[in-house]
Amino acid sequence: MKKTVVAAALAAAFAGPVLAESFIESAPVLSVRPITERTPVNREECWSEQRRGYEEQRVTRQDTGAPIGPATVLGAIAGGVLGHQVGGGHGKDAATAGGAIVGGLVGNQIDRDQGTVGPTTESVQVERRPVTREVQRCRTVQEVREVPVGYDVRYRFGGREMHTRLPYDPGRHVRLAVDVRVAEEAPPPPQYRR
């Protein structure tokens, strides 16, 4: 058996060159069946939700040091007296309060214009205010998908039905690389004479 294999290999090595011709041909596809594998796939799932919290803001305030000056006091008293005299009946109390407020405001403006309420200083304060923000949350979800790993293709060529496996779907026609060469003829069987 071993000698036969070696003899066949030597005969092939010393045989003359075999002439062949190659060309591309198209054959109609009869059927395509995908071959799939179950593969775990990670995907990201995101959504938005509202979160409540606090936001700190820096606020600058001006302070004169003496919020009530002498003109403010005198204006409130004078406005209250004048409002009391103008008002009548049940409206006397409202007129007195209104006159005191208006008189105080006018007097306070006089204090500011004359600078009698003291020097103005600035102070910075931090205020916490409630806020609502939209926050995006994400998580990784694992799922199993059927992933195509190849295609079993049946096609017709030379009047015969053939089969192959491809890494892609060929569509309605499959391209074939055809090699044409002369088949070696076997010697005729020996004839025995009687």
DSSP 6-32: HHHHHHHHHSPPPPEEEEEEEEEEEEE
Query: In which region does residue 88 sit, left (phi positive, over 0), alpha (psi from -120 to 50) or beta (all else)?
Result: beta
pLDDT, tens digit (0-9, with 9 covering 90-100), for 72-105: 777 778 877 887 787 776 677 787 788 888 887 8
Locus of tokens 């076997």: 186
**Coil vs helix vs strand at 52:** strand
* Positive or negative: CA dihedral 22, 24, 29, 32: positive
pLDDT score, position 115: 65
Query: Is the pLDDT assigned to residue 25 strictly greater than 60?
Result: yes
CA-CA-CA-CA torsion for 53, 58, 62, 65, nearest 10 degrees?
A: 80
Average pLDDT, the chain: 79
Which pTM was predicted?
0.36
Joined tokens for residue 51: 């979160």
Cα–Cα distance list, 130 to 50, 51, 57, 178 (Å): 13, 11, 11, 77
Query: Is the pLDDT assigned to residue 190 strictly greater than 80?
Result: no
Nearest to residue 123, comparing CAs of 64, 65, 60?
Answer: 60
Cα–Cα distance list, 118 to 56, 74, 124 (Å): 31, 17, 19
Joined tokens for residue 91: 């409206």
